[in-house]
Chain A
Amino acid sequence: MEQLINDLKLQIKEALNLEELSMEEFDENAPLFGEDGIGLDSIDVLEIIVLLEKNYGIRLANPKEGRAIFQSVKTIAEYVQANRKK
């Protein structure tokens, strides 16, 4: 799980060009949206959906389904672990 969380952080940081967010600061429990968290927006979610398909073979057709999944890196990791196809 720890490895998966770390992989996801790296992949998200790269795919979303989170240049100024260091890996140390990147808290897997921090909310991904809103000003108190990582501050992602709707396009970022779509980019994470692409990333999940590319790296883990997970297809999320409707971004609305993702609301619970995309709370934090931790919740994404739990979803990936349960549903990954590669």
Chain B
Amino acid sequence: MISVIATNITSPLGFTTEENYQAVLSGCSALKRYEGLWGLPEPFAASLFTEEQKAALAIEGYTFFEALAIRSIRKALTYTSLGNDISRIVLILSTTKGNIEALGEACYYPSEAAQRIAEAIGLTTKPIVVCNACVSGLSAQLLADRLLSEGIYDYAIVVGAEVQSKFIVSGFQCLKAVSEEPCRPFDIERNGLNPGEAAATIVFARDANKERWSYSQMIGKKEHWCLISGASCNDAYHNVSPSPQGDGLTSAINAVMKGRDKSQLATICAHGTATLYNDQMESVAIQRAGLSDIPLSALKGYYGHTMGAAGVLETILTMIATGDGIILPSKGFTESGVSGNVNIIDEQKKTDKRAFLKIMSGFGGCNVAAMYERTTDNGQALARRSQQSTDNVKLVKAHTIRLSSEDGKTLTDIYKQQIGDYPKFYKMDLLTRLAFVATEKTLSNSPLKGEDKMPALILFNHSSSIVADRQFLDTIKDAEDFFPSPSLFVYTLPNITTGEIAIRHHLQGETSFYILPDKDEALMQQILEASLAGTDTTTAICGWVDAESETCYECELSVYNII
């Protein structure tokens, strides 16, 4: 359990948390229809910064993405002090495509952007980039919880940021997932998501007693918020379509709510992208988890889908609103168009409850749920942290496999000679082929234990999805030959790699993809131990998988038993 000590939202609706909250409270939306923007042939609705806002946020020497994140963090830090020991503070950056517009330049790499952001705010520890598609913003908070709870750091600055571009929008358009009208979460008329840009920051502290969250100044209450519990589960079903029964999301919600009283919940903040499949699946999962009667809010009608920022932004807004005794309406919703029995809120409601649930689901089959609770000045959180300390957890390597471009054998050769029963291999991008072949080889030596229903998969790299990014860019850079490829776009999310392997081996535990400045084994070990402590997972596949090009790749993957 960790405490929230400062927040910021920087979006087209305002540059502070308060401005954003007031805007949403008065029903404002930043969604607008764009036609011909970035040379895109199809119109779309999106929540984008204006040129004036961009000029106000720009910082010389940084890309707009970096400047946006830096501005948001700096604003959050004006509400708090982090002490003098900067070696005890970690930056966790949540983004799906970061500086994608700089593909071809050094700052393209998400870890380089994270390092520049960290340095700009005066940090010296290595930043961690969370790249789990749409769920990244919640995954990043779960990681903060783990690293702080295990005492590895005292403070975590979690920043989620996304800047929209031709790259991202054309990708979602070719997946037929974008609406040209403002999105309508859970509505019968919903027909797709709206891309959004924003940055949002939460500063978490390990020790709640030292700090008080600044929002008490904002709305005059002596209370603070804690992240109580979180869980992450994969569908192991399909990389783009969620499990129709909402398997992964149901498991994640059940893991978080285990032993807790649902009557404490003021609201569930849904993912609610307004795509047909996502909202339908969420409604089924919420019903299966027994939470049909809990008021459900979806916030994408105000901001669109801010992707890497969404999990952080929507958590902050729900915190502020719940703290203020209000449940926010789901803008864009009028009539239910989902089969699951859910209590969708379409007008502002009052609440005196002190906890809420945030859920998200995304490509790669990943689902995350997290519960937050507000505590009074001298009170204790009602719920207690369920995780045990890593002191009691041992990761034992059962088998390790190393593959590299130096081996003299191509991945296709290895597939043909040693695997050969999974034609989907040929559809995968290089990064996924690399992780796939390594997983097959290591599991053939050390098979997963049958009794573990929740095996985990945690991967790290440096180069993100650069090979797929280059390939997809080739399909959109020429206006005369503009045919964005849906299958290539999917692989521009590196966690699709974890999704493919989860499907192949029915891994229904946590799947995560982290991007680091380098192959820092000590940091990777810390993240693994913190992630696997106190969960039901008893086996995990973890390691480094980096593919810079066809002739430059490296993978070191291990199967671990957790005892």
Contact = CB atoms under 8 A, between A and B. Distances in A.
Contacts of A50: 174, 483-486
Interface string B422-443: 0100110000000000000000
A17 B175 CA distance: 18
Contacts of B483: 50, 53-54
Please tell me the size bucket of the interface on A. Answer: 10 to 19
A52 to B, nearest CB: 11
Interface stretch (A27-35, A41-49, A69-77): A41-49
Contacts of B239: 43
Contacts of A20: 423, 426
B238 A41 contact: yes
Nearest to A48: B486
A24 interface: no
Contact of B486 (A18, A43, A54): A43
Interface string A9-20: 000000011111
A42 B240 contact: yes
B176 interface: yes
B426 A43 contact: no
B423 A46 contact: no
B176 A62 contact: yes
B287 interface: no
A37 interface: no
B490 interface: yes
Interface residues of B, number: 16
B351 interface: no
A46 B176 contact: yes
B341 to A, nearest CB: 26
B165 interface: no
A68 B486 CA distance: 21
Nearest to B428: A17
A5 to B, nearest CB: 22
A19 B423 contact: yes
Q: Which of B239, B426, B490 has the most CB of A within 10 A?
A: B426
Contact of B490 (A16, A19, A43, A53): A43
B241 interface: yes
B487 interface: yes
A47 B238 contact: no
B277 to A, nearest CB: 9
Contacts of A47: 485-487
Interface in B171-188: 174-176
Interface string B387-430: 00000000000000000000000000000000000010011000
Nearest to B241: A42
A11 B176 CA distance: 21
A16 B240 contact: no
B478 to A, nearest CB: 12
A41 B175 CA distance: 13
Interface of B: 174-176, 238-241, 423, 426-427, 483-487, 490
Given A42-B240, A46-B176, A46-B486, 9 more contacts: A16-B487, A18-B426, A43-B240, A43-B490, A47-B486, A47-B487, A50-B483, A50-B485, A62-B176
Interface of A: 16-21, 41-44, 46-47, 50, 53-54, 62-63
18 contacts: A16-B427, A17-B426, A17-B427, A18-B426, A20-B423, A21-B423, A41-B238, A42-B238, A43-B239, A43-B240, A46-B175, A46-B176, A47-B486, A50-B174, A50-B483, A50-B486, A54-B483, A62-B176
